[in-house]
Chains A and B, each alone.
Chain A
Amino acid sequence: MIARRSGGLFRLSALFFGFAFLYLPIALLVLYSFNGSRLVTVWGGFSIRWYGALIDNEKYRDAALTSLEIAVMAATIALVLGTCAGFAMNRFRRFRGRLVFGFMLMAPLVVPEVILGLSLLLLFVAAQSWIGWPASRGIVTVTIAHATFAACFVAVLVRAQLTVFDRVLEEAALDLGARPLAVFWRVTLPGISPALVSGWLLAFTLSLDDLVVASFVSGPSATTLPMAVYSSVRIGVTPEVNALATVFLGVVFVMVALAGWLMTRQERRRLATASLTA
């Protein structure tokens, strides 16, 4: 009994210190975004002046709009590509090139970003001299780059959801005379919708968060938010970045909470249907 209690204490302190480590820097960042002083480490009273400065800062505003535009397009392309790929890997046991396909889907998850960025840039430069496209680098090239690696993450989620998806529904629809495309569109896709929602959100945040790949493949016409933040952070710690980080955190919290709510609702519905049919 004593051993068990000390084990409980050990686990509680593991959780406490683990989460303190994960969240302390973030908490400090939020705290200092409300700091009145320009010195980031000296507390100068509560103030929201850095949020005002942030709104007035055109560099960040333009960059944020560019980033959002890229993230929405990249996430949508990644969702289409990743859903197809996850489906192909889950459903088609053998086809020519499956090994290469699997490798191409797995490698971008772990290949360092500097390599992804460099290789795509070299491709765009080569393509420009071969076929004259892309004429200049900017939003389009960053979108393509982000869609490429985000698609691999979407594929993982879709594939995982398909492994637990009940195939009986598809078979029933097929038996009742639905065409394969209709089954795919009306039965399978709605069935894996939680993975599609979280996949899109994941691709969106990956794109919004990326500094390295965008720095390589973007041109002077498009500066993304991380690129703008990076250029100010390199010079030193600035309170505006703290405010920006807090806004960013707030948006992410809301989005993740929304996704979590959607998924629990879906799960509850699934359980309810399962208990009805059982």
Chain B
Amino acid sequence: MTGMGAGLRRFLIGLPFVWLGVFFLLPLAIVAAISFAESADAIPPFKLDWTLANYRALCTGCLSVYTSSLALAALATVLCLLTGYPVAFAIARAPGVWRQLLLFLVMLPFWTSFLIRVYAWIAILQPSGLINRVLLASGLIEQPLPLLYNAFSVTLGLVYSYLPFMILPLYGSLSRLDESLIEAAADLGAPPRRVFLDVILPLSLPGVAAGCLLVFIPAIGEFVIPDLLGGPGTLMVGKMLWQEFFDNVDWPAAAAIAMALIVLLTLPLLVAQRFLEREVRRDRAP
């Protein structure tokens, strides 16, 4: 903006730039450096070096953790899409007053404690929990079902926690949808299934992509959910990093896990950035 004073301009760019450079970019560089260090019995517990030992250990021991994290995150993303799409669609079609309220209700859990929302599922899923007690009382099962501390509970926790992140971008796309296109398709004799597959779904793909990225990327590195709801068979990258750092006090190994995770996330992150930039630009266009 030409009218803006040069000093003001320098301040507005410079302050957050320097802050984020020092407290976001520089720390990542330090993680990269320490991932090549050697674990040592000292304070801080490492010795700077240029060894690939941490990465070698990662390749031999932990690759399965990365694949299982990817698989769980992917499964949760698909399930979020399948449950979130009908909800977002219904909200986008709701009358005006209702729409604001429903959107508000979707966002509300996001404002409450994440930790406590995950914790709430323990009381529901545990052997003496709500679901098992209802099923036992109704005589449908004789033994409590193992619902907690396995892949089921972790996936459920992921879907539950990230569902709002799927619904909101989907709603964004679906609410922009031109109603007359749907009516035209229906008037021309398309059955509802065809209207959905040929008109609604293709036009909502930007929302689908944004929602999937917003669920998939953070889900891979999730710590709280696999820690509280997962068991020994559902180790995820975020929890592995935490264990290396806090339980094994192996900082270089934790740094190497972080670097590998960043590399893994680079591609979806780049896609996400291009995508978000385009969304912002499109919002500005009219």
Contacts and interface: CB of A to CB of B under 8 A. Distances in A.
A41 B5 contact: no
A106 B133 CA distance: 45
B16 A14 contact: no
Given A14-B90, A181-B5, A118 B255 contact: yes
Interface in A168-203: 170-171, 174, 179-181, 183-184
Contacts of B91: 15
A271 interface: no
A105 B20 contact: yes
A114 B19 contact: no
A112 B112 contact: no
Contact of A112 (B30, B114, B222): B222
B217 interface: yes
Contacts of A110: 213-214, 217-218, 265, 269, 272
Tell me the interface secondary structure of chain A in the complex: helix
Contacts of B222: 112
B34 A102 contact: no
Contact of A119 (B27, B89, B94, B130): B27
Given A87-B12, A179-B5, A115 B262 contact: yes
A115 B119 contact: no
B102 A15 contact: yes
Contact of A120 (B27, B124, B213, B221): B27
Contact of B16 (A81, A123, A170): A81
Interface string A41-52: 100000000000
A118 B258 contact: yes
B228 A114 contact: no
Contacts of B284: 163
Interface string A105-144: 1111011111100111011011001000000000000001
B111 A229 contact: no
Interface in A195-230: 205, 208-209, 211-212, 215-216, 226, 229-230
A54 interface: no
B133 A41 contact: yes
B142 interface: no
Interface string B262-286: 1001000100110011001001100
Interface residues of B, number: 95
Tell me the interface secondary structure of chain B in the complex: helix
A68 interface: no
A170 B4 CA distance: 10
A11 B102 CA distance: 13
A81 B13 CA distance: 10
A212 B238 CA distance: 10
A85 B23 CA distance: 15
Interface residues of A, number: 94
21 contacts: A10-B86, A10-B90, A15-B102, A22-B109, A22-B164, A28-B120, A84-B15, A92-B12, A101-B17, A102-B273, A106-B269, A112-B265, A118-B254, A118-B258, A122-B34, A163-B280, A179-B5, A205-B111, A209-B114, A212-B242, A248-B113
Given A41-B130, A106-B276, A151-B16, 19 more contacts: A18-B83, A18-B167, A22-B164, A26-B109, A28-B123, A40-B123, A88-B12, A100-B25, A101-B17, A105-B16, A118-B255, A144-B23, A145-B23, A148-B19, A148-B23, A205-B111, A226-B115, A245-B119, A255-B111
Interface of A: 3, 7, 10-12, 14-15, 18-19, 21-23, 25-26, 28-29, 32, 39-41, 80-82, 84-85, 87-88, 91-92, 95, 97, 100-108, 110-115, 118-120, 122-123, 125-126, 129, 144-145, 148, 151-152, 155, 159-160, 163, 170-171, 174, 179-181, 183-184, 205, 208-209, 211-212, 215-216, 226, 229-230, 233-234, 237, 241, 244-245, 248-249, 252-253, 255-256, 260
